[in-house]
Structure 1
């Protein structure tokens, strides 16, 4: 007999027992599950956010501004970095353990009685919707898990969506979404609803404060114009207003480890505390979505926009985890870049924030990513590399990844654990007076954070 769900640990064990690989893609399971739960999504208003990179940061910005404006806001994101509960938040706070257990226990008999039982992510989505409806959220910032068209978040009706956002397109999850950028764009465009404005943020390149596009980036395989055409065509097909982010109106005046200062259109002197050259463009995407809400009658004071952006936090995105008290040059940064575009953006940010000096890297990757291109981008900024095998069944061995750097003449060492790699990397940083950038897989973040907390 399967144990009862009494605790959050029981709930998480049950959720993780429902793998997705044996299920055919589709929305039928999710629709049936929500129908049996009373369709909790029908009482809510959503900001639906898809895209290859930048989804989480844009969601965090939207959430921060709406909360600052006085709204009760649900936030649904993935994956989690430290605690499972991070996936489902109310007004900035993760779902309490007791409610996670209670809601999962309610959903379980319904899910188990279905002929085609729900996947792990479908269960998580249903738990989030039930939690948000229970707390009568004014808005839910709803991040797509993967793709869009067949993602479990895409059961929403047009009247339930205030605005759709597609942050950008890059080559990732190609086995499921398609082997060209245009095919991936079409999958993400599947979230577009009739009459619901869609913001497309993938029309830009990161800029340094002097307006220069950094040279350190993945080989260009994505044409943002052609991807935008795919998204525009779908918007026209269903009768949705299409709003591309006007990147030409963005002027970055400062970027560093303390975040960025920038102007966007008529808004001057904006600040976000999130480091990374890519974050001002994420902010511009969020601002376009917020302006659509304002135009459609939502009260969002300008002061709330400025204050919300200035107070936003989002872990694992060029996040400063440690500053050495004895040497200001020794800084530990964690970034979630895990595909060629994300890794190239992190490398460009490192070059900008650290004055172009070579830095140490702690890195591990998944075997189903384009890790060769990622290693090529990172080699441009790497002084020394410390590789690991992330704790995931899809991980590439650290030794195999190290070979790519060794072939490019970069000193590299493979380690059996993140803790061991971090210890060796930080010791070398202190000897050389250089920063350490940890990236390649979000699955490493918790172990890196644990190592930092031991200092």
Structure 2
């Protein structure tokens, strides 16, 4: 179980080599991963050695700890973990699995003397294990969008949750607040930061702009979901006005979804703060600003984040061997489901404008983590509120499955598929439904759901597009990536 406290890790940390790397600390409900990814990509493009810590891991535990966007080796992870566990046993601190992982990450970054580190909070902020980092290591703290999630641990209102998350603020250090849906968040956060003695900074919003061939190159091909000739949605052209960027910053953002413009806005406000705030600039390399100005567009363009509105091609063998398009998204709460639903609606609008498209077969494969008081209805109801096509006929199906419990976290369990199915029946009428077993073997449920999702296809169907959306839990997305890796190793 999650046991939020700094007591155990606070007793153990002094017995390990001290942590001193210049660090950006990232809290929030939604968008933390995307923000860490864009930020790290800009640092890397600017020639810095970059450590990044994200949780939960995707397919293996060392995925949480990245050096220059590459997972650390199992050997490196095992070596440092053994040292942390040995210290834990020697001093009888009995730290949790996540606390061990956090200390392993910090020890790896310290050992390799990386130039800069980006650390994502696990849950909350004030009592999260990552908040053990000393004040002197923190460049700045930031807070992405705040919404209801983990209420059992963080409080039942957005204001209480915001207070917990903003409590990573540090004295005499900047604190950057991202764009918020809930107006109450800013006052709460501003108060926490001021009481801490930090510097509150509000994010300046980047703007969408039209595609400009002189800046962006030739326009992208027309969007198509057909897996054989798949053409992804175009990059999002943005412009950002700030005194540190002469003549404004124009860039292309390849992360999917309108919400990513808000995440990018937060990142760019962070970057401008690192370049100008005295407490930050003194810790960065002397030529940091020059490097950023030369390379920031490449950093934004190169940012990718698996499992967040990510398109993939998957081979299926039934009823006819072919390739299908899969959209993987770890939407696990109401706010992220609303984001996914909005994105799917945009895809439908784009496809509706394609005169060759007649039918969209849209299948959701869903699993959820058991996380009271959050209910399946809370998370899933936004998914089925998408708009219909005008000329496009949309055929919707839903499969409910369970996921494999993540390594080292046996307490994380799936909501029974029968409960997901009950929510689907209440939310959408006329949809095809496939429900995996609530008990017994989990292995094979995702594969069976994919087989069911693609069983209707016949040869020679003109104008029929298929999209399978794997969502509801990042742990299900991880199962999908493991399946994809097996397929790439052993093609059909």
**What is the TM-score with the length of structure 1 in the denominator?**
0.85
Comparing 230-239 with 180-189, which one deviates more in the overlay? Answer: 230-239
Q: Shift of the alpha carbon at 1:329?
A: 11
Q: Does the 8 A contact of 1:360 with 1:429 survive in 2?
A: no
Matches within 5 A, 1:29-428: 29-39=8-18, 41=19, 43-203=20-180, 224-247=182-205, 249-251=206-208, 253=210, 257-265=233-241, 267-296=248-277, 297=281, 298=284, 299-300=288-289, 301-322=292-313, 331-355=325-349, 359-368=362-371, 369-381=374-386, 383-392=396-405, 393-407=412-426, 408-409=428-429, 410-416=431-437, 417-428=445-456
Question: How far apart are the structure 1 equivalents of 2:198 and 2:322?
Answer: 50
Question: How far apart are the structure 2 equivalents of 1:29 and 1:450?
Answer: 34
Counterpart of 1:11 in structure 2 is none
Greater Rg, structure 1 or structure 2?
A: 2
Question: How far apart are the structure 2 equivalents of 1:29 and 1:316?
Answer: 32
Q: Shift of the alpha carbon at 1:449?
A: 2.6
**What is the TM-score with the length of structure 2 in the denominator?**
0.78
Question: How far apart are the structure 2 equivalents of 1:324 and 1:394?
Answer: 29
Question: How far apart are the structure 2 equivalents of 1:136 and 1:351?
Answer: 45
Question: How far apart are the structure 2 equivalents of 1:199 and 1:329?
Answer: 43
Q: Shift of the alpha carbon at 1:390?
A: 2.2
Q: Does the 8 A contact of 1:337 with 1:440 survive in 2?
A: yes
Any stretches of 5+ residues in structure 1 without a counterpart? 1-19, 205-223
Comparing 96-105 with 375-384, which one deviates more in the overlay? Answer: 375-384
Question: How far apart are the structure 2 equivalents of 1:105 and 1:354?
Answer: 50
Q: Does the 8 A contact of 1:48 with 1:165 survive in 2?
A: yes
**Deviation readout 1:350-407 (Å, 9 max, x if unpaired):** 1112327763211111232332032211112381111112233431111210111112
Q: Shift of the alpha carbon at 1:115?
A: 3.4
Cα 1:160–1:268 change in 2 (3 A) is closer
Q: Shift of the alpha carbon at 1:435?
A: 1.4
Instruction: State which of 433, 442, 447 in structure 1 corresponds to 2:474.
Output: 442
SS at 1:355 equivalent: helix
Q: Does the 8 A contact of 2:313 with 2:323 survive in 1?
A: no
Cα 1:253–1:405 change in 2 (3 A) is farther
Q: Shift of the alpha carbon at 1:187?
A: 0.4
Counterpart of 1:7 in structure 2 is none
Any stretches of 5+ residues in structure 2 without a counterpart? 212-222, 224-231, 243-247, 353-359, 387-394, 406-411, 438-444
Q: Shift of the alpha carbon at 1:276?
A: 1.8
Number of residue pairs matched?
A: 412
